[in-house]
Amino acid sequence: MFKKVGIILFVFTLIMVATIYLGSKQEIKEVNYQEGTPIGEIPSEKESLVSLVFELAEKGQAWDIPFIVGESDIQDVHELWGTSEKMNERSAKIYEDYLSKNATIGHFSNLVFDIRSSSPEIQQIRLDDIEKHKGEADEIRAYQDDQVKQIILVFNVTSTHQLKWVFPKPTESIPNPAVDHISVFTEVKEEVSTDIAAMKEMSLEEKVGQMIFAGIEGTSLSKESKLLISNDKVGGIILFKDNLEDVHQSVSLLNEMKEESAKNKFPLFLGVDQEGGRVSRLPELIQLPTNQEIGKINDSSLSYNIGNLLGKELNSFGFNLDFAPVLDINSNAKNPVIGDRSFGSTANIVSNLGIQTMKGIKNQHVIPVVKHFPGHGDTAVDSHKELPIIQKRLEDLQALELIPFKDAIDNGADVVMVGHILLPKIDPTFPSSMSYELITNILRNKLQFEGVVITDDMTMGAILDNYKIGEAAVEAVKAGNDIVLIAHDYVNIKEAIESILLAVNEGQISEERINASVERILLLKEKYKLSNKRVDGVNIEELNQTIVQTLGR
């Protein structure tokens, strides 16, 4: 690990190097160069900086950033710079933006492997400054998306380190563009997950089981509930208020499930709707304020602390997944289901506060689930009872409802829950939870979400009043969901499992499609180190005292 003393020494060294560089400006003007040196070969200020950048890159360092690729740990970054302003998570590789530092830090398994600098000094350098000073790059790449067109000059500065200069693509009007940013990069080994390796040995029944998140009846494990875990090997269990009478019984039930799951290859997702406010399932805890109340205060640090509290609550009881935060924008005053569960009526407030709550939950190593994609805030009916219909086009959603979800994805959202909403102008046939257009084309392709997608409860009236549960489960998988949530009735769960298996055997769903979902599920379980470790008890007084202190009551 990159030690604090090392950081201090490096910062001191960097200051000295910078001082020498800045001092070189005066020296260039005053020093008499050897006779015979052509005036055109006298080093310029930019050339001096370019040389320093290359020298630092050879050591795994980037200009003005006190960390080393391949050596520094992300904890070192957090200790020195605090939490990042923005996080972008792509599979296991995570990029954190420190806008005030003009830096982005890429890390994998906690090890820093990519350091990017867009400092003002770096952005003074132009394309021809690199070509004059270093000649041809070892490799020239091109990158293009909806926002940018770039060229990347790649220099292999050592056998393990690369220096990349990233420029806007030259044009006729700007043939010599300035640097956008540099990247000092080292390869990191992406070891094959033991869980993913084990997937090759799984039967189709086991794979489909992982794609089911089931609800159970009662306050202890019934014979049917045990069968769901040990025989059907469902991937997760959701509990509701009816399952949780008091602290002692709740912990006992969770420990029972873990004991039953211990014989399986993979631990269970153990989830609950603990949003705060009126949607709070855990017993004997002081109720947290509603999101609406938090939105009125509009304090990012409070939202983070609330998320942190939610994570602590779940950890204490033995849960590992929270169906929160709500990212719906409360834009319809007649909405019967969202209301005070939303942080507010604007995308900015919902996005900022929702993401902070998500980060707080993650800080306690609990999986947050952002919901209800593509946005349940403008509905006039309750999807628990009937299917809401929203007459909006994709452009309308992009202007409002999708903003918090896109921001959450860019900040490392692990799981997105899809609601039951019919949007006829986007998909006239299926509600969002069963829509290929909304899940695969929009959520996956347009918003570039690579994590786990789960349906809202498929036993709600919005679905069961219009489809058979087996048919709905099959269409949900075809649409791109990784997990189908079936919160009520053993017969519904069994029918959904059997229908998905039949659809695979008949060729309606390919096993490759199943494998893609199971891989995402197992990677998430491994990322959060899910286990069957028992919880001995909950110090409810201490938890409640922490809540009081956080809320300032």
Active-site residue numbers? 384, 456
8 Å CB contact between 178 and 203: no
DSSP string covering 315-346? HHHT--EE---B------TT-SSSGGGSS-SS
Q: What is the C-alpha to C-alpha distance for residues 461 and 526, in angstroms, rounded to an integer?
A: 34
Number of residues written out for the chain: 553
Helix (H) or strand (E) holding 474, with range, is helix 469-479
Helix (H) or strand (E) holding 88, with range, is strand 86-90
**b/e map 94-113, b = 16+ CB within 10 Å:** bbbbbeebbbbbbbbeebbb
8 Å CB contact between 369 and 417: yes
Q: What is the C-alpha to C-alpha distance for residues 48 and 51, in angstroms, rounded to an integer?
A: 5
Identify the three-state secondary structure at position 475. Answer: helix
Strand partners, 344: none
Q: What is the C-alpha to C-alpha distance for residues 280 and 289, in angstroms, rounded to an integer?
A: 10
Q: What is the C-alpha to C-alpha distance for residues 205 and 210, in angstroms, rounded to an integer?
A: 9
Strand partners, 373: 418
Identify the three-state secondary structure at position 123. Answer: helix
End-to-end C-alpha distance for the chain, whole angstroms: 41
**Listed residue (246, 239, 214) closest to 227, CA to CA:** 214
